[in-house]
Amino acid sequence: MSINIKFHPNTILEVLTEEGYAKTTIQEVEKDTIAIFIPTINNTYLTMRPNEKYEVIYNDRKGKVYKFKVDVVGRKYDKVPLVILGQPYDIRKIQRRKYVRISHTGIVNYYITKNYPKNKLNSYDILDFKVGYTVDLSGGGLKIRVAEKPQLKDYIIMHLNVTEEIIVLGQIVRIEQDYENKYVCGVDFLEIEEQEREKVIRYIFMEMRRMLKTSGGDNFE
């Protein structure tokens, strides 16, 4: 059965590269082509040349996720440089990976702000950060235990140690008060480079293997 995809302007495409997925936005949709902004990964533009083939992931506005192949058919300039892609082929529906979550206790240096950070995450003074503790950890977010009560939708910059230190931006999506009157916050990662996320995932699987040896693997789901 053939699968037809309906593309929409201003929706995101993820283009597979050797370094991970480069993200871009659809600018124009024509009958046989779509025009996209030049994709970026790790703050670097992806050079897409005519006749090159790429694998792409697309999440439509109805919650369906597709993976397909596409050919670069050209480029054009319309106030900004655009890449022209041909019709998708080898289309299949996929489910995005559900990130494995493990129980995890570790120190987190964090900084909470009500406004989306305008500066680079590594430019904030560590002396302004407070200390919290992780409760669990996944590739998509974590739970953190803190002393002061934050607000839902607050942004949180975190220094995490997953064998090596990484800096991520998250948003608080759940808050619970525990028996010691501390606040356990569910945090979704908003800004994390794909290579940094892979470090988190590798660390999680390393911890899972350790847990399997020591506790039978009851600390992850």
Give the pLDDT band (50/70/90) at residue 147: very high
Mean pLDDT of 202-214: 77
> Considering the domain 12-94 in this protein, what is its CATH number?
2.30.110.10
Give the pLDDT band (50/70/90) at residue 95: low
Mean pLDDT of 76-100: 83
Where in the chain do CATH 2.40.10.220 domains reside?
A: 102-215
Where in the chain do CATH 2.30.110.10 domains reside?
A: 12-94
- Mean confidence (pLDDT) of the chain: 87
pLDDT in the model for residue 194:
73
Q: What sign for the dihedral angle of Cα 143, 125, 130, 159?
A: positive
Mean pLDDT of 72-94: 92
Measured from the Cβ of residue 138, the count of other Cβ atoms closer than 10 Å reads 20
Mean pLDDT of 109-120: 92
pLDDT in the model for residue 118:
84
205: phi then psi, degrees, rounded to nearest 5: -70, -30
Mean pLDDT of 180-188: 94
CA 65 to chain centre: 15
As assigned by CATH, the class of the 102-215 domain is mainly beta
pLDDT in the model for residue 217:
46
Q: State which H helix or E strand residue 131 sits in.
A: strand 130-138
Q: Residue 59 forms beta bridges with which residues?
A: 65
Q: Using an 8 Å Cβ cutoff, are 192 and 169 in contact?
A: yes
Residues 6+ apart with CB under 8 A from 181: none
